[in-house]
Amino acid sequence: EFSTIALPANRYNIKTDPRLSLRAVGDGLADDRAAIAAAINTISAAGGGVLYLPAGTYRIPWRSGDALTGESGVVFQG
């Protein structure tokens, strides 16, 4: 069952939020895949929220068998 958290109140900035163990760079050069995947899992475990990706170029190289998956209650904003 989806949490009743007010999603905008539970907003995570992928570049700066101290609740995230990894942070994305968004410079088009750094591999941001691990940071985005970890953020999705953290937000989902917290009951849901908004993953905010500020302006930038987020590099997410494709890897066989290593897809990014959306989780219930995680909203992307950018």
Task: Give the pLDDT band (50/70/90) at residue 69.
Answer: confident
Look at residue 46 and give its three-state secondary structure: coil
Q: What is the pLDDT of residue 58?
A: 95
Other beta carbons within 10 Å of 19? 12
What's the pLDDT tens digit per position in 3-61? Answer: 555 556 689 999 999 999 999 999 999 999 999 999 999 999 998 999 999 999 999 98
Residue 14: exposure state from Cβ atoms within 10 A (0-12, 13-18, ≥19)? buried
pTM for this one?
0.83
